[in-house]
């Protein structure tokens, strides 16, 4: 099932401005922006060694992240991600326990190509959780 913590994702209205603020205030280096067309986001990572902070900006108006930004114009924490050996196996085990896995069953992928799935916030103490497949 869960094998470790991966990252926390923060929605920002402006990726470049967020990167500048993190560099100026905290001395953090934000990586090169990437685009995940499937999820409708521009993403950049801050590597903290044992975890990452993922900055997300909507790349199109119909993405779920754009809807989050409409409700939270300054941005904020969107979800956190945990590593799993197999998204399919973990999702099936969770579904068998009554946990709602979001989506229509179409495989979803991270910007790096890893399989991902999301757990409904109501089933994890109000937090949106991303399962991210990492085969060791």
Residue 6: Cβ within 10 Å count? 22
Mark out the alpha helices in the chain (DSSP H runs).
15-26, 64-71, 87-96
Per the residue annotation, which of 16, 24, 70, 130 is the catalytic one? Answer: 130
- C-alpha atoms less than 13 angstroms from C-alpha of 52 in its C-beta half-sphere: 16
The question of whether 130 is a catalytic residue gets the answer: yes
Residue 135 makes CB contacts below 8 A (sequence gap 6+) with 85
What's the token pair of residue 81? 């991600």
Catalytically annotated residues: 130
């Amino acid at each position: 099932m869960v094998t470790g913590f991966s990252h926390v994702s923060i929605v920002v209205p402006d990726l470049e401005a967020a990167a500048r603020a993190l560099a100026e205030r905290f001395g953090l280096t934000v990586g090169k922006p990437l685009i995940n067309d499937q999820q409708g986001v521009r993403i950049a990572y801050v590597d903290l060694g044992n975890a990452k902070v993922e900055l997300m900006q909507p790349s199109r108006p119909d993405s779920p992240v754009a809807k989050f930004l409409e409700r939270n114009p300054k941005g904020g924490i969107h979800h956190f991600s945990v590593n799993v050996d197999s998204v399919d196996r973990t999702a099936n085990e969770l579904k068998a326990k009554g946990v709602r896995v979001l989506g229509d069953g179409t495989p979803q992928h991270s910007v790096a190509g890893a399989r991902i799935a999301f757990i409904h916030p109501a089933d994890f103490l109000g937090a949106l959780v991303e399962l991210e497949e990492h085969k060791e």
